[in-house]
Every structure is written in structure tokens, then in C-alpha cells.
A = this chain, B = another copy of it.
Amino acid sequence: MNNLFERHRQTLEAAQKAAAERGYWSAYPEVPSGKIYGETAKDDGLAAYNAKLGKSFSLPAHPEESRVGAEVSPFGPALGITYPAARVETLISASQAAAQAWASAPPEQRVGICLEILARLNRASFEMANAVMHTTGQAFAMAFQAGGPHAQDRGLEAVAYAWMEMTRTPSQAVWTKPQGKAEPIVLEKRWRIVPRGIGLVIGCQTFPTWNSYPGLFASLATGNTVIVKPHPGAILPLAITVAVAREVLAEQGLPADVVLLAADTTGAEITRDLVTHPAVSIIDYTGSNAFGEWTRANAAGAQVYTEEAGANSIVISSTNDFAGMCNNIAFSLSLYSGQMCTAPQNIFVPRGGIVTEQGLKSYDEVAGGIASAIDSLLSDPARAAGVCGAIANPATLARVEAARGLGRVVRDSAPIAGAPGARTATPLVLAVDADDTDAHEEERFGPIAFVIAVGSADDGIRRAADLARSKGAITAALYETDRARIEAAAGDFAFAGVNLSVNLTGGIFVNQSAAFSDFHVTGGNPSGNASLTDAAFVANRFRVAMWRQPKT
């Protein structure tokens, strides 16, 4: 049995158990504490990050025909890092040259290597936090969690599912078919896992590791070689990932080119050439619906797993904790300035108001309550900077600017004083009527929210579910005090392919999706065709081939 597999066997078994039971579990501590990661870990991570700035990123023996890289931190400075780059054909050839050795490695060995890569990525979490912070605009604490341990948990989850699927069929069996009074027919049969080929992972700018690790590790564990195509604005987190993977592969005597980096430049992206290459068998994509649709339509026979986008809704019917509700929603809208794929955009509120523990609250009081809660949450500039972070892409600021005209401004967006030099924007909250569908029925990525006046909560649920079905939605939230009405709404959202959070008022938010418990995206509406991570996400990344012969 393989050394690395044995080293990490307990983690793998715990992950399998957690995925089956779906209670809380995590392999990698989310608290950026020196007690856990080592007293110097924070400083060491920052130093490791700083040491990369302005340099050539080192990927030993990686195909290299040129250097690319033009990342600029949303907090201000240019990173000045360059990465090895190569033509698509060069990358494909290198990937194919590494394929046979990787496909022939036993599943235990491949899984052991994946788990070792994750363990090393975990140890590099502080360096990764800085890399994620300065490419995505996430504040440090979030960059640590989402870019580090939470992403690693999602990677481990994919490895656990891959292991379960690969070991579901025995490697051998004896088949004995009775023949009445004659001797039975006895065959010995052997099965082996055969990978699909090359897996292409297309990363996004806002969550370069969290959204890429499931596809990366699912393809890798099942024996495929992987080409990682980062967003040109967020190369560093995936370059570090690829470097760690290549290091472990080489140590284990396997070709480092099993994992390749396909770095490119804005305006000269190689993504389309990779997607349409006939040698690419699997594509994991995170990004816009437009490019997602193009990818699904143009992939040359590859299986395509996507997380695209959608307009997420909150429906407010009634609550027993008006202040808690407003505070919870305020945080969900503010966190990372609404740049999470799980952030709410549309808040449906009955025109006639809602029932609360304080009596009826009018539509305006609800909209005002949320706006005030945001103001309160962000009143301290340092706290505001820690919650909102920075805006990853200048286009998002322009979108906020353009959105001001779409409704009555209940709360205006503004830069954050606590983050000088950074590109920032607090949430814009607009009041609109349900009939203003042009305003709210498309995804407006960033800190833009609509409080939408509807005839009733049921009307809001219907509209939210219909919107999820037609345009996509990853999350939905409901505030409702009646259990029967909650269950009815849960059915409506389920059939629209949306996961629903109900009556969140404390320290848990609709945006949050926990590995091993929450399936991220259902795959059942236009916000994505796959779920992170279920059996369907891994089971088709390999095939099972058999040979049989009469038993002698």
C-alpha cells in the first residue's frame, strides 16, 4: 500500500464519513491562528508572498515559451510576477506525455498524492491568503478561509467522492453460473479504472482556488492529467497550487506535467483554443453564463461541468426577529461587496408589509431596516474594510454606477474610508416594483441589491422560483414563521433547483456553503450544470474496463 495513502488514510475516511452524514466537519482549520498553524506562520506566509512579488514565478521543468503576468492588487499595487506560458499545442503535448504514467498509477497512489498536495497547500494557507487577497480583493480573513482551508476542504471532498466511486466496483471477482446438472461456468473477471484523458480547469477571478479545487482534484484523483487555466487577473493562487502539485508528483517519481499551468493575458486568452481542443476530455468551468454557454456548445466532445451565475433571491414573509433578520441580510449583502456567487441580489417584500414580533412593518420600513443595518455594520471604517474587502474588477464599479438609475436609492454605495488606495464600494440598495423586471431579472454582479415590492410573499416566492428556473440562482433565502408555508416554499425552490436558507438571523449567512454538508449549486437550473461535490460530479471522469477469462 502506498506511503502517502497510508499517511492520509484517516483524513480520507473521515471525509467519506462526513460526506455521507452531512453534519459539520472540516479537515483544515479555518481559524488563522498561530496556535494551529505555528506562531510564525502568519509572518512566514506574508514573507513568502512578498518574496514572489516582482519576480519570475518558478515552476521547474514546466513548458515555457514565453512569460506572462500583469496582476494588479485590488488593494493597489501591481504584483509584478511573471509566469511561464506556452502555446496550447505545447501544453496538450506535455499533458499527453505525462498521461500514461499517471493513468497507470494505482488509485491508492493517485489519491495519496492528492491528499499530500492538499496537506501542503494547507500548510501554505497564509501565503495563499495573501495571494488570494491581492488578486481577488477579498479581505485578509476571508481570503485565508475561502482561499485556504475552505478550498482545501472542497478539494478533499472531491478526492473522497472520487475514491468512493473508484472503489465501488471490486478489482476482481469470480463469476460462477450454474448449468443445471452440468459443471458451472466459472469466469475470473478483473476491472480497472481508465481515465478520460485531459481535464481542463478554468478558474475565475473572485474565488480562484475554492471554485477550481473540486474539478482539479476530481479529475486528478480519477487518473486524468490536468491543465489549470487561471483567470489572467488571479494567476498567483493557482500557480502556487500547481507548483505544490508538481513538487509532490516529482517527489513520487511521476511526471510533474500531470499538472500544468496555462497562464495567459487579458485580451490574448487561450481559453477558447483549450476548450475546443479534441484532446480535452473534461472541462470544469467557473464564470459568466455567456462564456459558460459558449463552452458547453463548443467543447469538442468533452464533458463540461459548470458553475455559471444567477440572480439570488430573498423572500421576506414574516419574522420573529426583525433586527436579527436585517442584520443578517446586511452582512450577506456587504460580505466581499456582493462579489460572491452566493450573495443575494433580489429581496422580495410584500407591498403591504410583513408581520414581525414588533407588529406590521411596511415595505419601506423593511427596506429602511436593511439599509440601516448595512450602515451600522459598516460604520467603523476598519470593520467595513474587513467585511467588504475590495472590488476585484473595475467593471464592477462601473456597474454599480450605472445601477443607480434603476430604482429609488434606499442606500447609496460609497468608497470605504478604511481602505485607502483600494478599489472599494459598499452596497447599493434600490427600491423597485416587481414589474421593473429589466432592473432586477438579470444578474448585476457586485454590491447591488433590489428591494422588490410584490403583491404577497407567495407572489415573491413564485417570482423568485421562476427567475431561478429561467435565469439561474445558486441560493435563496426565506423569512417565514409558519412551518407549513416554509415547507411549501422549500418544495417550490427545490423544483427550481435552488438551495434554500430559512430564517437566518445569527452568525450564519445565506452566502455560506460548507463542504461535506452543503452541495454548492444543484446543477438543476442555469446557474450551473453540476454540483460541488456529488457522485455525478466524479463518476463520469473515468470509465471501468474489464477483462475476463475462464478460471483455471
Q: A466 in the interface, Cβ–Cβ < 8 Å?
A: no
Selected interface stretch from A85-93, A164-172, A352-360, A449-457: A164-172
Q: A535 in the interface, Cβ–Cβ < 8 Å?
A: yes
Expressed in whole angstroms, the Cα–Cα distance for A548 and B177 within the complex equals 49
Expressed in whole angstroms, the Cα–Cα distance for A536 and B506 within the complex equals 39
The digit string for A148-192, where 1 denotes a CB below 8 A from any CB of B, is 000000000000000001001110011111110000010101111
Expressed in whole angstroms, the Cα–Cα distance for A539 and B517 within the complex equals 18
Cβ < 8 Å to B, chain A residues 466-501 = 486, 490-491, 493-495, 497-501
Our pick among B196, B507, B549 for the contact of A501 (Cβ within 8 Å) is B549
Selected interface stretch from A21-29, A52-60, A394-402: A21-29
Q: A259 in the interface, Cβ–Cβ < 8 Å?
A: no
Quick one: given A189-B517, A550-B505, are A176 and B543 in contact (CB under 8 Å)? no
Our pick among B24, B517, B531, B544 for the contact of A543 (Cβ within 8 Å) is B531
B497 lies within 8 A of A194 (CB): yes
Chain A binding surface, main DSSP class: mixed
Our pick among B22, B24, B194 for the contact of A177 (Cβ within 8 Å) is B24
Which chain B residues border A340 with CB–CB below 8 Å? none
Cβ < 8 Å to B, chain A residues 322-359 = none
Nearest chain B CB to A344 CB, angstrom units: 15
A175 lies within 8 A of B507 (CB): no
Which chain B residues border A20 with CB–CB below 8 Å? 168, 170
A494 lies within 8 A of B175 (CB): no
Cβ < 8 Å to B, chain A residues 516-552 = 517-519, 522-524, 531, 534-536, 539-540, 543-550
A502 lies within 8 A of B173 (CB): no
Q: A439 in the interface, Cβ–Cβ < 8 Å?
A: no
A22 lies within 8 A of B519 (CB): no
Q: A36 in the interface, Cβ–Cβ < 8 Å?
A: no
Chain B: which residue is nearest A545 at the CB level? B494
Of listed A103, A104, A547, A549, residue having the most chain B CB within 10 A: A547
Our pick among B523, B535, B539, B549 for the contact of A502 (Cβ within 8 Å) is B549
Q: A504 in the interface, Cβ–Cβ < 8 Å?
A: yes
Expressed in whole angstroms, the Cα–Cα distance for A196 and B523 within the complex equals 10
Q: A250 in the interface, Cβ–Cβ < 8 Å?
A: no
Expressed in whole angstroms, the Cα–Cα distance for A190 and B503 within the complex equals 15
Expressed in whole angstroms, the Cα–Cα distance for A20 and B170 within the complex equals 7
**What are the nearest 3 A-B pairs in CB distance?**
A494-B545, A502-B549, A524-B543
Interface residues of A (CB under 8 A from B): 20-24, 103-104, 165, 168-170, 173-179, 185, 187, 189-192, 194, 196, 486, 490-491, 493-495, 497-508, 514, 517-519, 522-524, 531, 534-536, 539-540, 543-550
Give 9 A-B pairs besides A493-B545, A501-B548, A522-B545 with Cβ atoms closer than 8 angstroms.
Answer: A20-B170, A22-B175, A165-B535, A189-B518, A194-B494, A498-B545, A500-B547, A506-B550, A531-B543
